[in-house]
Amino acid sequence: ETGVTQTPRHLVMGMTNKKSLKCEQHLGHNAMYWYKQSAKKPLELMFVYNFKEQTENNSVPSRFSPECPNSSHLFLHLHTLQPEDSALYLCASSLGTSGDSSYNEQFFGPGTRLTVL
C-alpha cells in the first residue's frame, strides 16, 4: 500500500463510451500526476496538478480531460477513445514539484488497465 488508490483497476470500453478514472491519495501531498504506461515504453507524463492548479499538459489529446477538485482527488475523464489508447494509466502524488527527493519523490497507485475496443 502506497497511500494512493485508483479505481477501477480494470476497464474495457468502446470507442463511443464516456468513462472516468479516479485517483485518491491519503498522504497529504500537494501534487498529483497522470501517467500513461505502454508495454516496453517509458512512462509518459500526461498531466500535473500542484495545489489543484494544472501545471503541465504534455500535448495530450482532448479526448482525455483531467479534473482536480482538491489536493487529494484526481480524475481522468475519457471520451471517444481510440484503440491505441489502451494502456495502464498510473496516478502518482508527491509532496511538491521541486526540491530534493523528499519533495520530488512520487508515490504511485496500482493503475487502471484500460482496454479500448
Partner 1 sequence: GQNIDQPTEMTATEGAIVQINCTYQTSGFNGLFWYQQHAGEAPTFLSYNVLDGLEEKGRFSSFLSRSKGYSYLLLKELQMKDSASYLCAVSDSNYQLIWGAGTKLIIKP
Residues that bind partner 1 (CB under 8 A): 2, 4, 40-43, 45, 48, 56, 90, 97-101, 104-111
C-alpha cell at 34: 497522470
CB of 15 to partner 1, least distance (A): 25
Please tell me the distance from the alpha carbon of residue 37 to that of residue 54, in angstroms, as a whole number: 21
SS3 string, 40-103, reads CCCCEEEEEEECCEEEEECCCCCCEEEEEEECCEEEEEEECCCHHHCEEEEEEEECCCCCCHHH
CB of 111 to partner 1, least distance (A): 7
CB closer to partner 1 out of 75 and 103: 103
What does the DSSP 8-state code read for residue 16?
Answer: T
CB closer to partner 1 out of 16 and 53: 53
CB of 75 to partner 1, least distance (A): 18
CB closer to partner 1 out of 3 and 73: 3
CB closer to partner 1 out of 42 and 83: 42
What does the DSSP 8-state code read for residue 24?
Answer: E
